[in-house]
């Protein structure tokens, strides 16, 4: 677009738009990046500059941008039906998607409840779990347990089980009371993985408080919410699969629902279709969104066991209905996109190809080891992360006010990379179609940016 048009759009953006998770004053003297085109793993700004979408547009994109099959799927669906209500009515795309999701999800899940985004998928899970215990004669089970550093969305129910103080502390008076558990913490990484000793210590330390809590209080706990394998917004903190296995065991033993929030980690990002597969466990409730539609349009789903579903199935007069719904529940175009995405997963062998890239990425990441202030380099599938630290050996971070991550973000844009930081945690969250060559190029550019900022 021409410069006048660009300036006019950016003027209106500044005048009219409040961007999410953004201190707008950060943009007092600079503009948001105006994106004009998106193709494959690249975004292009209004001046034609190209950027690797290194964060998959907030962890959503799967098959790259502008995939022709995705577009065709929307068009085909719109020729049949656009949106129709999902209460009293049903339609092919929502039925086929539910069937498909249950076929690929961890075994033992039985029903699909649709909504629009990750927050609502989690709220649905919380409300289902809460009501389940009322309907099955244990109305004292009204509380939830969650992890430090956990993030499950921004609606107030989801915030109540959120463990990221920066995002959540301000809203305390509006939140329900919940049990906060320490997050699993891996202290030593080699080649992007926890050392065996660090993995054992991590699991032992983190699981013991869960056991103690359940011993004393399981009678009042409905469910435990967890992001399996990676606590994403809380700082891309990864844990060993044994932690999820032991959570599953404790939840089963103490009659607590295991609620797996795979909104971020689902759909291949960690190397398996769902992150729970690393641990070989099935949660009682599974929350999905983001990659569900390949990251193109809003849609989410909460999968639950038939046992939970059946606790709501009764004569109308018993008032056991799950009174929850959103207007666009089961939106047909969104369901059609999700179905097409799952077809692409199979036909294009997306998981296998992503595995090749993630192995190539593992090798490349070794190069970050040469930077003295780069710590905790870790990787799972298409996700990798590290911290910028003043003194890694002493565990000493940089002062908060220096905003190291933020500065690196701006520098990386000049290098054609979107390295959106979480504080001083820098991460990749790559589209699954990223090639090994592109992954190498991304690490190359990251090293160049680090060097330019004086990191050695």
Site for its own copies in 290-319 (CB under 8 A): 290, 295-299, 304, 309, 312-317, 319
Note whether 71 binds its own copies by CB under 8 A. Answer: yes
Of 79-87, 210-218, 276-284, 341-349: span binding its own copies (CB under 8 A): 79-87
Closest CA to 311 of 299, 298, 322: 322
Site for its own copies in 341-400 (CB under 8 A): 400
CB of 123 to its own copies, least distance (A): 5
DSSP assignment of 301-329 equals: EEEE-HHHHHTT-S-GGG--------TTT
Which helix H or strand E contains 132, and what residues bound it? helix 118-135
Note whether 325 binds its own copies by CB under 8 A. Answer: yes
Q: Of 203 and 304, which has the nearer Cβ to its own copies?
A: 304
Which sign does the torsion angle of CA 316, 320, 326, 329 carry?
negative
Number of shown-chain residues binding its own copies (CB under 8 A): 128
Cα dihedral angle (244, 248, 251, 254), rounded to 10 degrees? -120
Q: How far apart (Å, rounded) are the C-alpha atoms in residues 151 and 181?
A: 13
Note whether 98 binds its own copies by CB under 8 A. Answer: yes
Degrees, nearest 5: CA angle 151-157-162: 25
> How many residues can be counted in the chain?
456
Among 49, 66, 204, 356, binds its own copies (CB under 8 A): 66
Among 175, 351, 390, 453, binds its own copies (CB under 8 A): 175
Note whether 187 binds its own copies by CB under 8 A. Answer: no
Closest CA to 152 of 213, 60, 232, 209: 232
Note whether 99 binds its own copies by CB under 8 A. Answer: yes
Q: Of 37 and 211, which has the nearer Cβ to its own copies?
A: 37
Of 58-66, 185-193, 275-283, 431-439: span binding its own copies (CB under 8 A): 58-66
The answer to whether residues 181 and 147 touch, using CB atoms and an 8 Å cutoff, is yes
Among 52, 54, 62, 119, binds its own copies (CB under 8 A): 119
Q: Of 97 and 186, which has the nearer Cβ to its own copies?
A: 97
Q: Of 134 and 355, which has the nearer Cβ to its own copies?
A: 134
Q: How far apart (Å, rounded) are the C-alpha atoms in residues 341 and 292?
A: 8
Helix, strand or coil for residue 253? helix
Of 49-57, 346-354, 371-379, 435-443: span binding its own copies (CB under 8 A): 49-57
The answer to whether residues 89 and 81 touch, using CB atoms and an 8 Å cutoff, is no
Which helix H or strand E contains 391, and what residues bound it? strand 383-391
CB of 38 to its own copies, least distance (A): 4
Q: How far apart (Å, rounded) are the C-alpha atoms in residues 149 and 316?
A: 40
Among 65, 152, 269, 404, binds its own copies (CB under 8 A): 65
Note whether 80 binds its own copies by CB under 8 A. Answer: yes
CB of 142 to its own copies, least distance (A): 5
CB of 43 to its own copies, least distance (A): 6
Query: Binding string, 8-47, against its own copies, x = CB under 8 A?
Result: -xx-xx-xxxxxxxxxxxx-----xxxxxxx----x----
Among 49, 252, 253, 327, binds its own copies (CB under 8 A): 327
Site for its own copies in 132-171 (CB under 8 A): 134, 142, 153-158, 160, 166-168, 170-171
CB neighbour list of residue 390: distance below 8 Å, 6 or more residues apart: 373, 396, 397, 398, 399
Closest CA to 71 of 301, 234, 294: 294
Q: How far apart (Å, rounded) are the C-alpha atoms in residues 352 and 401?
A: 42
CA distances from 301 to 115, 291, 298 (A): 6, 11, 11
Note whether 104 binds its own copies by CB under 8 A. Answer: no
Note whether 424 binds its own copies by CB under 8 A. Answer: no
Note whether 403 binds its own copies by CB under 8 A. Answer: yes
Among 322, 363, 411, 416, binds its own copies (CB under 8 A): 322
Note whether 239 binds its own copies by CB under 8 A. Answer: no
Note whether 61 binds its own copies by CB under 8 A. Answer: yes
Closest CA to 260 of 311, 271, 280: 280
Note whether 287 binds its own copies by CB under 8 A. Answer: no
Q: Of 95 and 190, which has the nearer Cβ to its own copies?
A: 95
Note whether 250 binds its own copies by CB under 8 A. Answer: no
Note whether 102 binds its own copies by CB under 8 A. Answer: yes
Q: How far apart (Å, rounded) are the C-alpha atoms in residues 264 and 152?
A: 9
Site for its own copies in 196-225 (CB under 8 A): none
Q: How far apart (Å, rounded) are the C-alpha atoms in residues 142 and 129?
A: 9
Among 116, 227, 277, 284, binds its own copies (CB under 8 A): 116
CB of 198 to its own copies, least distance (A): 31
Degrees, nearest 5: CA angle 341-288-98: 65
């Amino acid at each position: 677009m021409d410069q006048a048009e660009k300036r006019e759009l950016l003027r209106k953006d500044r005048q009219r738009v409040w961007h999410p998770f953004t201190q707008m004053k950060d943009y007092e003297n600079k503009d948001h990046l105006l994106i004009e085109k998106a193709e494959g793993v690249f975004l292009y700004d209004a001046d034609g500059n190209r950027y690797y979408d290194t964060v998959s547009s907030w962890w959503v994109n799967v098959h790259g941008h502008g995939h022709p099959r995705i577009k065709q799927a929307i068009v085909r669906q719109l020729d049949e039906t656009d949106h129709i209500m999902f209460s009293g009515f049903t339609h092919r795309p929502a039925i086929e998607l539910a069937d498909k999701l249950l076929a690929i999800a961890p075994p033992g899940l039985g029903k699909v409840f649709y909504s629009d985004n990750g927050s609502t998928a989690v709220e649905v899970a919380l409300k289902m779990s809460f009501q389940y215990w009322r309907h099955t004669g244990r109305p004292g089970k009204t509380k939830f347990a969650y992890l430090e550093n956990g993030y499950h969305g921004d609606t107030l129910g989801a915030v109540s089980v959120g463990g990221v103080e920066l995002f959540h502390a301000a809203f305390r008076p509006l939140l329900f009371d919940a049990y906060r558990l320490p997050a699993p913490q891996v202290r030593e990484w080699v080649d992007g993985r926890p050392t065996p000793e660090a993995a054992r210590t991590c699991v032992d330390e983190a699981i013991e408080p869960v056991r103690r809590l359940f011993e004393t209080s399981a009678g009042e706990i409905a469910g435990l919410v967890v992001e399996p394998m990676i606590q994403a917004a809380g700082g891309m903190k990864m844990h060993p699969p044994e932690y999820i296995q032991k959570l599953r065991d404790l939840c089963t033993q103490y009659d607590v629902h295991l609620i797996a929030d795979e909104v971020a980690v689902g759909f291949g990002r960690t190397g398996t279709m769902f992150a729970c597969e690393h641990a070989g466990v099935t949660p009682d409730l599974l929350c999905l969104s983001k990659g569900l539609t390949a990251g193109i349009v809003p849609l989410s789903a909460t999968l639950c066991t038939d046992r939970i579903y059946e606790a709501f199935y009764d004569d109308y007069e018993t008032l056991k209905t799950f009174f929850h719904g959103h207007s666009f529940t089961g939106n047909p175009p969104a369901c059609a996109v999700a179905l097409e995405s799952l077809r692409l997963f199979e036909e294009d062998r997306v998981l296998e190809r992503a595995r090749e890239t993630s192995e190539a990425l593992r090798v490349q990441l070794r190069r970050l080891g040469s930077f003295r202030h780069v710590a905790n380099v870790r990787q799972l599938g298409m996700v990798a992360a590290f911290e910028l630290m003043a003194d890694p050996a002493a565990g000493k971070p940089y002062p908060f006010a220096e905003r190291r991550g933020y500065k690196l973000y701006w520098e990386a844009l000049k290098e054609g990379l979107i390295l959106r930081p979480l504080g001083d945690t820098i991460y990749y969250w790559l589209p699954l179609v990223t090639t090994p060559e592109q992954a190498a190029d991304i690490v190359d550019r990251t090293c160049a940016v680090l060097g330019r900022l004086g990191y050695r």
